[in-house]
Structures are given as structure tokens and as C-alpha cells.
Amino acid sequence: MKVKTSHIALTEKTTTFLTSTKKMLVNNQWIESEAKKTFDTLNPANGNVLTKIPIADENDVDNAVVIARNAFDLIWKDGIKPAERSDLLWKLATLIERDIKIFMELETLDNGKPLEKAKYDVLGAINHLKYYAGWATKIEGTTIPTHSNKLVYTKKEPLGVVGLIVPWNFPLMIAIWKLAPALACGNCCILKPAEQTPLTALYLGKLILEAGFPPGVVNIITGPGIPTGQAMSQHMDIDKISFTGSTLVGKKIMEASAKSNLKKVSLELGGKSPNVIFEDADLDMVLDSLQWSSFYNTGQECTLGSRIYVQESIFEKVLKSFKEKAGKMTISNGFNNPDLGPMISEKQLNTVLDYIELGETEGAKLVYGGNRLDGDLAKGYFLEPTIFITKNEDLTIAREEIFGPVVVVSKFKDFDEVIKKANTSKYGLAAAVWTKDLSKAHRFANAIDAGTVWINGYDLFDAAVPFGGFKQSGNGKEMGKSAIDLYTKEKAVWTVL
């Protein structure tokens, strides 16, 4: 593991934004929370306070919902044409393009990810906005033949007011994954970024105003899961919650929604994704990707291949190369453009360290890493890439989502064995298979219980391709045409001629 160092210089706009008083965006106005309570958002590279952020309580959430409902009923639903919604989304995309450097810097400061990886996220957000700008004018119904003297047609209508709760690992990109289709479908939105990473969402609010969105259409409130997220989930006049985060919290949101108004809920939750390498795979391709499919974003990504299965004839060769390449990855403050930045918080770091200790206690063999970094990086939340090997699928580290740079590598003999092992997980978010035999690859894709399957690649995404998991990895599909269904309701109309 190599440590990179260099001087950090922020752009003037980023510095100005950081030193300004942070407020929430409601009804196109910047407001404080009613109770005037705040929390600190920290730089995970050194633990320093970046700025203070308002805490929205139940009253603040209710105020935002009332504003959003009025905007939906009076302006957004019928007063703005689909083509105008399209123009607004495209305009917002161009403004993000203009300020891409600011978004990159804020994301790296608040989340810790390397600057160039933050750029990838911002570009992804831009592409999603442009993609759904095209959808705004193409949300159509159908006619259904039933009888010669009856006309039956369907129409897709917006849900109304939707609550969008975003995680801390991809703060801007996942915010746009939700905002873009929700707005294209004609909904009014209440966006809550994760309390660990609120800065890019608040800066996005500045551009929403500049783009010309009507008052109350996009409202951005800040705060932790309790009270802010809980108040959104329980609110009787929010029509839908879209949440990305842990399975545990997703279950709580679904329960709260069921107990309130049975609001529609879509959940993109945890993963423990199998990355399966057959002996006939192109090993050059595999070994070039393995450290990234395992440790990208410091392991803080739900789709990463945290369970690696290698056919026994090539196991030692793959493991040796994997350890060597993990050892060559650079780690540092994200502004130095390392391979890996810090973990999001000391709490998350300690959680992962506990999993590493538990893995050793339960009998897994630690073959690389496992240590918090000291020296120049001691004040930040930095952890080495960590590799375990085991034969026991029942170990905690083989079953539970760790959400850190920790992977478990296991051997397998044949196709049937690895399918059985891969499908034992309670999660079903993603999976990958590496083989030159495309027949085998497609048999694998058919047999694996996962919402996304990559063949001879990993972590491939596009705005047009649906994404979402099976089992306890959630419900509903974000991205692509499928996201339109998440943010609309279908009405059937019968006419007797």
C-alpha cells in the first residue's frame, strides 16, 4: 500500500460556498430549521469540521410537504408542459457541467473519494439528467381492445409529492438517479441527502434556482435518519419514498410507510455480490479488474464483489496476483487522486475493523491488510484493502454486508457448486461471471438470483439500463424506462360509445 501526498488548493467558488451559512431549500427560499439546530459535516480525510448543517425536524418536514403539495396541485402537475419539464432538466444538466469542478471538490471533501472518481460521479449525474429530459415527453398510455362499443385507455400520472432519501457513498449521483425521473414524470420532490454528505445536494439547490424550477417543485432538507428521515417516512401526505441505503433502515422505512398512509416505497438496499471466476476465464482481464471490483470507493459500494469464488485449478494464481495488486494500490486524501480515499466516518471504520476481528476469530484466514493506517493519515479514517480466504460459507464476514474494503475469497470445483454457494446469500443485488464459454456464462446468468449480472466485466452502468436487486437487496428498478414506473401511477379509463 502506497501513500500519496500533495498540496490541496480549492477553487474560489468552493471556498465561498464552504464558508457561507448553510440553509435548506424550501419553496425556492433558503431557510433555517424551525428549531435552529445544526450538526457538523466532517472531512473524513482528517476528521475536521467542514461546516454546520441544519437539522430538519417533524415541523420542517411538514412545512416542506405542504409547500410541495401546493406546488404540485397549482403549478407543476398541469401548469407546466412536459416539454418545459424537459427543458428544465436539460438546463440543470448544463449548469452542473459548468460547475463540475465545484461538485468534484465538494464530493471529495465531504465523502473522501478521490477527485477523479468524484468526476465520474458528476458526469454520471449529468448523463442521467439528459437521459430523463428525453423521457418527459414520452410517458404514454395505451388503448386496450375490449368491445366494439367501448373505448378503454390507460394513462400514467405523477404520484404527487415524493420523498427521496439518498446515501453517503454516491451523494450527488444517486440524488440525480432519483430526482431526474421523479421530475420528468411530473412529481414534486423533497430530497434528503445523507447527514454525512449534504454539501453537493445543497450546492445543487443553487443551480435548481438558477435553472428556473418553479417554487416548491424541488425542496432540499437536511438531517439524520431520526428525526428527518423518520418524519418523511411517516408523513401522511408524502405519496412515495425512494430510499437507497442499508437493508435494516429500508425495512424500517417500509414499516413506517405501511403504518401511515401505505405510501409507495422503492428500496435499493444492501448487497453481498458474488464475483465468480472460472478456470477458462481470460485471466489478464480478470486480474486487471479484480482490485477495482473488490475495493472501489474504499469498498463502500453495495454492488462490489465482496464474495470472490475462484475455480480451484487457478485459485493460487489468482490469489497471488490479487494480493500483489492490492498492495500496489495508493491510498490518501482524495485530492491527491489516489486509488482509494478514506472511509466515510470513524464509526464506519470501527464497524469494519470489528468485522475484520470477527473474521479472524471465526476462523477465516487473513492474507492481506486489515489495518487502520497511521503516520500522515492517522487523523483520517483510512483502512488497508483486506483479503480473507475461507472454506466456510457460514462465517459472518461471508454472509453480512461489511461496506468496507474487505473481501472473502473461496474455491469451488464446478458450475453447480458455485451456483449453490453464490445463491445462499439473503441478498440479490448483483453478480459477475468470468469465462470464455458464453453458453456457460448465460447459464450462469439464468441461474443466479441477482438483479444485475455482468459477464466478463464488472460495475457497468448506463442511464438507460435498469438497476435494482432481488431478495433483501430491495424492490423496484432505478434507471432506464423502469424508473418511470417508480414515479407514476396507472389509471384505466372506460368510455361507453
Reported as a single tens digit per residue, the pLDDT across 104-133 is 999 999 999 999 999 999 999 999 999 999
Whether residue 126 is found in the same domain as residue 261: yes
Q: What is the pLDDT of residue 3?
A: 57
Whether residue 327 is found in the same domain as residue 240: no
> Does residue 479 form part of some domain?
no
Residues whose CB is less than 8 angstroms from the CB of residue 1 and which lie 6 or more positions away in sequence, other chains included: 326, 327, 329, 330, 331, 369, 373, 384, 385
Q: Are 107 and 171 in contact (CB under 8 A)?
A: yes
Confidence band of 49 (pLDDT split at 50, 70, 90): very high
- pLDDT by residue (tens digit) across 2-14? 555 555 689 999 9
Instruction: Examine the fold and report which residue of 236, 269, 302 is the final residue of a domain before the chain moves on.
Output: 269
pLDDT of residue 22 exceeding 90: yes
For the question of residue 362 being annotated catalytic, the response is no
Whether residue 167 is found in the same domain as residue 49: yes
> Does residue 3 form part of some domain?
no
Instruction: Examine the fold and report which residue of 269, 296, 311 is the final residue of a domain before the chain moves on.
Output: 269
> Does residue 234 form part of some domain?
yes
> Does residue 6 form part of some domain?
no
pLDDT of residue 251 exceeding 80: yes
Q: What is the pLDDT of residue 4?
A: 57
Compute CA 33 distance to the chain's CA centroid, rounded to the nearest angstrom.
26
What are the C-alpha distances in Å from 159 to residues 168, 195, 199? 26, 26, 28
Whether residue 349 is found in the same domain as residue 431: yes
Whether residue 228 is found in the same domain as residue 328: no
Task: Report the CATH number that the domain containing residue 381 is assigned in CATH.
Answer: 3.40.309.10
Look up residue 375 and give its DSSP letter. Answer: G
Out of 268, 384, 401, 478, the active site residue is 268
Q: Are 411 and 312 in contact (CB under 8 A)?
A: yes
**Per-residue buried b or exposed e for 415-436, using 16+ beta carbons within 10 Å of the residue's own CB:** beebbebbeebebbbbbbbbbe
Whether residue 241 is found in the same domain as residue 356: no
Look up residue 395 and give its DSSP letter. Answer: S
Whether residue 336 is found in the same domain as residue 434: yes
Whether residue 137 is found in the same domain as residue 282: no
Q: Record the pTM.
A: 0.95
Residue 427 identity (one-letter amino acid): Y
HSE-CB of 219 using CA atoms within 13 angstroms: 30
Whether residue 29 is found in the same domain as residue 101: yes
> Does residue 350 form part of some domain?
yes
Q: What is the pLDDT of residue 6?
A: 54
pLDDT of residue 483 exceeding 60: yes
> Does residue 482 form part of some domain?
no
- pLDDT by residue (tens digit) across 160-217? 999 999 999 999 999 999 999 999 999 999 999 999 999 999 999 999 999 999 999 9
Task: Report the CATH number that the domain containing residue 259 is assigned in CATH.
Answer: 3.40.605.10
> Does residue 477 form part of some domain?
no
Whether residue 287 is found in the same domain as residue 385: yes
Q: How many structural domains does the chain have?
A: 2
Residues whose CB is less than 8 angstroms from the CB of residue 423 and which lie 6 or more positions away in sequence, other chains included: 447, 448, 449
Whether residue 340 is found in the same domain as residue 257: no
> Does residue 467 form part of some domain?
no
The domain in which residue 305 lies consists of 274-455
Whether residue 428 is found in the same domain as residue 363: yes
